[in-house]
Amino acid sequence: MATGTTEFFQVKFVVDDTRVWFPTETEEGKEEGENHERAVDPNAPVSEEDERVRYDSEKHMLLEDARRIKKDVQVDDEMIFPLETHEDFGRIAAQTAKQVIIQKIREAEKVSILGEFEGREGEIVSGSVQRVERGNIFLDLGRTQAIMPYDEQIPGERFRQGERVRAYLYSVEEGPRGVMIRVSRSHPRFLMKLFEIEAPELAGGLIEIKAIAREPGSRSKIAVHAVDDHVDPVGALVGQRGVRVSTVMSELGGEKIDIIEWSEEQAHFIEDALSPAKVLDVVIDEEEHRATVEVVEDQQSLAIGRGGQNVRLAAKLTGWRIDIHSMQGESTAEATDDESDAVSEIDEEVGLVENDVVDDAALSAEEGLKNDAVEETEVDTKEGVSDKE
């Protein structure tokens, strides 16, 4: 029974100094039957903008050597060389060949996947839940899988196997076991990308998001600015009858979203950041980077928020240390950046400012707070204001 024949070829790409760099000290070539050497400094720096790749004799062939075989060959052309075939491969040799072929195929797949997803960092990807392992969710993206670590998930969310999930692709790394793709649903930029899908004004650059403060699954605050004076930045994100912001909230499992207009005037910006509370006055201390905010008694609970959430998010959004004071001048709450944990990151491309502050607002004058607790409860009851905003 005829089984056909198998032929093997080695393919090399024709290169020159504009395509490759040499890791060794000498480059060997043949000219008129003699070897010649070209000195290469192994410590010579390679520019970050240098797109050349490392020279590999198994994959590359120098232009001068290739032209000895084919005179009209050009850089980037392929040189194909037939390899000697054997009919009497033993079992061990066949297994070795199989392993090498499988390894080369996996390497080619890894390079292909890396090239595809590296360019998609910072985008939203969609995949189906493959499995949940030790709290981590593995998503099937088609050609490969992605992992959503436990701390990158929205608290309280549960997904079933096979369910479609959208997430923010924030990391693509090449590891010993292949390409590691990490996604997140708790990342502040996930919120921004969702609004880019819903609001053409944001995607088109007519408005921009200046800052995001987010406590995933609970509440977020977004500061927006209009590049075009004819566009209402807040209205663009809210949408007609709130349809745009409602769509984003549904994607995030009902997470509440406050949208405010960014202002260069910091006092006004801080006042808006504390909404829905009404602020009487804001005093800025530039040296200590502190803002003292005065509110009436019936607005204290709104300004502070449940568990200090509102003032904490306002501090994240503005980057200022915020003290809440009553009309009598008593300090009722304080939200501050923890110097050891605080991180400030500015993305110049999108103007996104992220401020990670302490998880719990530092409450000053604790004794005063205990004394004021009864008063605040009475005021809330009279005015119909709940601390569980």
Question: Would you give per-residue pLDDT tens digits along the chain (389 residues)?
Answer: 455 566 777 888 899 888 888 875 444 444 444 444 444 444 444 454 567 888 888 888 898 888 989 888 898 888 888 877 766 667 787 788 788 888 888 888 888 888 888 888 999 999 999 999 989 999 999 888 999 999 999 999 999 999 999 999 999 988 777 788 999 999 999 999 999 999 999 999 999 999 999 999 999 999 999 998 899 999 999 999 999 999 999 999 999 999 999 999 999 999 999 999 999 999 999 998 999 999 988 888 999 999 999 999 999 999 999 999 887 655 555 665 543 333 333 343 333 444 433 333 333 333 333 334 333 333 333 333 334 33
CATH numeric code, 187-262: 3.30.300.20
C-alpha distances in Å from residue 339, one per residue of 116, 188, 273, 289, 376: 39, 21, 22, 13, 31
Find all residues with CB under 8 Å of 258, minimum gap 6, and list them. 219, 220, 221, 222, 275, 276, 313
Fold match between 187-262 and 265-389?
yes
Contacts of 284-287 with CB under 8 Å at 24 or more apart are 284/320
Evaluate whether 248 touches 191 at the Cβ level (below 8 Å). yes
Supply the angle between the helices 266-273 and 309-318 in degrees, to the nearest 10. Answer: 150
* CATH C-level class of 88-185: mainly beta
Domain edges within the chain = 8-85, 88-185, 187-262, 265-389
> In the structure encoding, which two tokens stand for residue 21, read together?
């760099």
Among the CATH numbers 3.30.1460.30, 3.40.50.720, 3.30.300.20, 3.30.379.10, which is that of 265-389? 3.30.300.20
Cα of first residue to Cα of last residue in the chain, in angstroms, is 81
Find all residues with CB under 8 Å of 127, minimum gap 6, and list them. 139, 140, 141, 142, 145, 146, 164, 165, 167, 183
Helix (H, G, I), strand (E, B) or coil at 350: coil
Evaluate whether 213 touches 272 at the Cβ level (below 8 Å). no
pTM of the model: 0.64
- Which helix (H) or strand (E) segment holds residue 329: the answer is none
